[in-house]
Structure 1
Amino acid sequence: MNRVVLATHNQHKVDELRRILDVTLPGIEVLAYDGPEPVEDGATFAENALIKARAAAAHTGLPAIADDSGICVDVLGGSPGIFSARWAGPGRDGAENLRLVLWQISDMADEHRGAHFTCVAALALPDGTERHVTGIWPGQILREATGEGGFGYDPIFKPNGHDSSAADLAPGVKDAESHRAIAFGELVPVLTELLRP
């Protein structure tokens, strides 16, 4: 059986990506990564995803997949973007990130609250082969957080075609529609081709 390493220490991402990949990558074992975390000093989602995938491939000697993702709010010029995880500053938690975004656009009318999640999924092989693809999940920012599921900015993001936040969606629905589902769905044929014996 082919094996790939999932280059993240974020348990929420591990759980979500394993659910997605279990469906789309039958016959490929997805391993957790327990190596050192690299410094994510890229200026784009793609650069940061590739930094993580390269580090995991170098550490394990196995093909590695990684993602970098975040929320991009139209009226904030695409921010928080790559700074999504630390938007409220160092040492702040996810709830503070949400509160800051909600405050920053609190005066905006609904038609100006457009946003999207971006995910870049990257693959790095030990021989230096690399690929990356992008998934976009459009929607808008709600006026308050709602929902008990999901993580990150899910409670304030309403995906297009839904009446509630991403945190209210059943895991199976999110796994089928999200930015990660789109990106990793596009990465699967690339991965399958490159891992073919």
Structure 2
Amino acid sequence: MPRRVVLATHNPHKVEEFAAIVRATRPDLEVVGYDGPEPVEDGVTFAQNALIKARAAALHTGLPALADDSGICIDVLGGSPGVFSAYWAGHAKDASANLSLLLDQLSDVADPHRTAQFVSTIALVVPAVDGGAAAEHVVEGRWPGRLALAPSGENGFGYDPIFIPDGQPGGAERSAAEFSPAEKNASSHRARAFVALVPLLSTLSV
């Protein structure tokens, strides 16, 4: 029976994406969604927020917990929205409003200055038998690119429709929302972070 690992998010898109990434390298692990209370994410870095979520999920479930804190960092905005990506247009976490506000803020910024990167920080917290944390690890992945002038594509979520990843075959200029799920899972910021996480998952024996 696969060893279960809880992903500390109520976002079904993230659960699906993580499960596919994990399945490709560790089919013996089963990623399950988290149904417990959400902790207050009051960290000021991706790593701090990822650890807050992973610790809460591990404590609530007793399972090894993964948590991803991610966002888009735009060079001309000094790295913002960053950790505030999900709340850029307010605490309603309205992805469409976030995207529209960001495009409006950058409406006069020329293409050479629209460079950005998606950042994913993944925390792994393995609970101890006494309820504390036996081990904690944090890894990071970055996906460089730039922002389009308008959204395109039906796949993905969040800022994917306006993010054009660097290094596409043949010089293509597709948004992340135009990537197939398999393409995205092979090259995204989460996939890159997971590459660094794989050796740490070896401690989770079936």
Change (3 A) 1:92 1:180: closer
Count of residues paired in the alignment? 196
Tell me, which stretches of 5 or more residues in structure 1 are unaligned? none
- Displacement of 1:92: 5.5
- Displacement of 1:91: 2.5
User: Is residue 105 from structure 1 mapped to residue 106 from structure 2 by the alignment?
Assistant: yes
Bigger Cα displacement from structure 2, 152-161 vs 17-26: 17-26
Task: Give the partner amino acid of 2:45.
Answer: T
TM-score between both structures, scaled by the size of structure 2: 0.92
- Counterparts of 1:35-74 in structure 2, within 5 Å, are 35-74=36-75
TM-score between both structures, scaled by the size of structure 1: 0.96
User: Is residue 146 from structure 1 mapped to residue 127 from structure 2 by the alignment?
Assistant: no
Please give the alpha-carbon distance, in whole angstroms, between the structure 2 residues aligned to 1:100 and 1:33.
30
Tell me, which stretches of 5 or more residues in structure 2 are unaligned? none
Q: Aligned residue for 1:137?
A: 143
Secondary structure, aligned partner of 2:174: coil
Q: Aligned residue for 1:182?
A: 192
Task: Give the partner amino acid of 2:23.
Answer: D
1:120-174 C-alpha deviation (Å, 9 max, x unpaired): 0110011211001000000000000111110000000000023110000111000
Task: Give the partner amino acid of 2:68.
Answer: D
- Displacement of 1:61: 0.9
Give the fraction of aligned pairs with identical amino acids, expressed as a percent.
61
The CA RMSD over aligned residues, in Å, is 1.2
User: Is residue 89 from structure 1 mapped to residue 90 from structure 2 by the alignment?
Assistant: yes
- Displacement of 1:29: 2.0
Please give the alpha-carbon distance, in whole angstroms, between the structure 1 residues aligned to 2:109 and 2:31.
43
- Counterparts of 1:149-160 in structure 2, within 5 Å, are 149-160=155-166
Task: Give the partner amino acid of 2:183.
Answer: V
